[in-house]
Amino acid sequence: MNPVATDPLITDPPTVQPLTVEGVVPYPAEFAARYRQAGHWIGATFDELLREAVAAAPNSLAVVDGERSWTYRDLDARVGRLATVLIADHGVRRGDRVVVQLPNIAEFVVVVFALFRVGAVPLFALPAHRRSELLHFCREAEAVLIVTAERIGGFDHAALAAEVAGLVPSVRGVLLASDVDPASEGRPEAETVAVAPGDLAFLQLSGGTTGTPKLIARTHDDYLYSVRESARICRLHAGSRMLVAMPVAHNFTMSSPGILGIIAARGAIVLTTDPGPDAVLALIERHGVTIVPAVPPLILSWLNAPQRQEHDLRSLEVVQVGGAKLSRSVAERIEPAFGCRLQQVFGMAEGLVNYTRLDDDIETVLSTQGLRISADDEVRVVDETDRPVPPGTPGALLTRGPYTIRGYFRAPEHDARSFTADGFYRTGDIVVEREDGYLTVVGRSKDQINRGGEKIAPEEIENALLTHPDVHDASVVGISDEAMGERVHASVVRRARPDGTPIPLRPVDLRRHLAAVGLAVYKVPDVIALVDELPATGVGKVDRRGVAAQERNHS
């Protein structure tokens, strides 16, 4: 035997075996091989992404939050210290799930990258989530830790996290943002384990269409591919500065190209907890922001702010709008108002992301939601029987590809409905595809409300309303709204007394009830109407379109 080949110092290091987390639906082996061969999956991890940025640009600005600004070196030091704390003080191990509920503060970046370094798996909760959602996330994911801020927007998240931790046996503790950077200077760094590129990197949320929100498991390999390509498509560079005014944990602001794309480009992330025009316009000017992602209601509020004229916004290169359909009339105002390019972004946490390109003609930018990232994104536009429709004809969008999941986390029954037998995700969006592959979103077939980019499953709210003892029946629909696109409208039938008269119950009682059961703030209906009966379909199921039509006739 050749002694050289067995010398451990000169043989290839053993490749790290992926860690199996039960309930993650893998890509079929032949597809994984194809995506590797094509160079999409390069076998890297998010910790490596940060370490490369630190090595290449240690003194470049990485994160700005209020008066705090950190270089890549600063960020890396904080990540290292927190990784030690996570391992040594909280017993966090590779593969462990950790619920992260933080506002747009610098600690978010530290926490997420420290978890990546440890090989643990952040689950991205939104600040608006409450007990109902946090309980569900912790139970579904068997989380070991909750990371949150003491207060967000006046709400006591520390108390909520402590309550949830007390109710879910897997949760061993709560880490508060104020303890994220302990004075542990000089403490020896705990040893981190190797992480495989095929490992589960994090759990993202789906807007969902059922009673409980679904979790989306993404790997380092697949997500990094979408991040790198997004950074290229959006022309990020070392001088890019992204203002994050929407919730930073949203899939859009994480990856399209998001804060991860910024790190790939060695640019800077500017965070704000105030998405109002005063704060946003001042920050763009002060920090020379080049790119800003927004949902349509946000962009509208910035467009309509008279003080826009008073700010020097010339640093802006691109305003990205996505998450919900941007109306043409608003789209037309963006380039003149901000003096930069508009980019429409149509994406989903499940995978597929489409962008209008920065050199597209203005008509394409105004009238479409863009083109897929990758030539290997398979896009099918089909009729009710899953047969392809010709270009230019509306149809349901199905997709499969190198960064689109093959199934939700631990939801096999749901997967049977949300995926085709050959692994295409049923997006629930009705689109028109142009000959050249550009998509325009024209409607929706899924039972979901898109409230200014926040996705809501009517069934979840109906179930919450039905837990009130005086509610006999409830139906929730989206009604169209100028600013938000859609608002949440609930019709509620009260229980009757034995003499047939309804039990007194006011909308305000129901709002209180929904807050008490711990429903996320944005899911509480904008309108609650007390009605005598719900319109029924032939088979006795509530006719959602009927309720929406009734409502339109009233307003």
Residue with smaller CB distance to ligand DBH, 198 or 485:
485
User: Sheet harboring 318-322: ordered strands across?
Assistant: 68-71, 61-65, 268-271, 241-244, 291-294, 318-322, 341-348, 351-355, 371-372
**Footprint (CB under 6 A) of ligand DBH, residues 433-472:** 453
Q: Which of 353, 381, 449, 490 binds ligand DBH (CB under 6 A)?
A: 353
CB 366 within 8 A of CB 420: no
Nearest approach, Cβ of 441 to ligand DBH (angstroms)? 11
**DSSP secondary structure string for all residues of 496-514:** BPTTSPBPP--HHHHHHHH
Name the residue whose CB lies closest to ligand AMP: 207
Q: How far apart are CA 114 and CA 122, in angstroms?
A: 10
Least distance between ligand AMP and beta carbon 124 (Å) = 11
Using the rule CB under 6 A, is 126 a contact of ligand DBH?
no
Q: In what order do the strands lie in the sheet with 425-433?
A: 378-382, 395-400, 425-433, 439-444
Residue 133 contact, options ligand DBH, ligand AMP, none, Cβ 5-8 Å cut-off depending on partner type: none
Instruction: Rank residues 273 and 450 by Cβ distance to ligand DBH and give the closer one.
Output: 450
Residue span 235-254 as binding mask against ligand DBH, x where in contact by CB under 6 A, dash where not: ----------------xx--
Comparing CA positions, the residue from 457, 553, 466 lying closest to residue 510 is: 466
Least Å distance, CB 453 to ligand DBH, is 6
- Confirm or reject binding of residue 427 to ligand DBH (CB under 6 A): no
Cα–Cα distance, 236 to 262 (Å, whole number): 7
The single-letter code of the amino acid at 471 is V
Residue closer to ligand DBH (CB basis): 180 or 405: 405
- Our CB check for ligand AMP shows the closer of 197 and 261 to be 261
For the record, the structure tokens of 543 come out as 């006719």
| Residue nearer to ligand DBH on the CB measure, 297 or 453 | 453
Strands 97-101 and 68-71: unpaired
Stretch that binds ligand DBH, among 325-333, 341-349, 426-434, 539-547 (CB under 6 A): 341-349
Q: Which two tokens stand for residue 548?
A: 């929406």
> For ligand DBH, what does the binding mask look like between residues 254 and 283, x meaning CB under 6 A?
-xx---------------------------
Q: Which one-letter amino acid corresponds to residue 440?
A: T
Residue choice 122, 323, 370, 458 for contact with ligand DBH (CB under 6 A): 323
Contacts with ligand DBH: how many residues (CB under 6 A)? 12
- Give the binding site for ligand AMP (CB under 6 A): 206-207, 251, 322-325, 344-350, 369, 427, 429, 441, 444, 450, 455
Buried b (16+ CB within 10 A) or exposed e, 121-139: bbbbbbbbbbbbbbbbbbb
For the bound state, the minimum distance from the C-beta of residue 40 to ligand DBH, rounded and expressed in Å, comes to 17
Q: Which of 268, 299, 316, 348 binds ligand DBH (CB under 6 A)?
A: 348
Alpha helices in 168-255 (DSSP H): 220-233, 251-255
CB 272 within 8 A of CB 244: yes
CB under 5 to 8 A by kind: which of ligand DBH, ligand AMP, none does 353 bind? ligand DBH
Q: Which residue has the tokens 């006011």?
A: 506
CB of 271 closer than 8 Å to CB of 104: yes
Cβ atoms 54, 76 nearer than 8 A:
yes
Comparison of 337 and 345: residue with beta carbon closer to ligand DBH:
345
Residue 256 contact, options ligand AMP, ligand DBH, none, Cβ 5-8 Å cut-off depending on partner type: ligand DBH
C-alpha–C-alpha distance, residues 490 and 476, integer Å: 4
373 binds ligand DBH (CB under 6 A): no
Q: Backbone dihedral region of 189: left (phi > 0), alpha (psi from -120 to 50 degrees) or beta?
A: beta
Site string for ligand DBH, 201-240 (x = CB under 6 A): ----------------------------------------
CB of 417 to ligand DBH, least distance (A): 19
Q: Which residues make up the interface to ligand DBH (CB under 6 A)?
A: 251-252, 255-256, 322-323, 345, 347-349, 353, 453
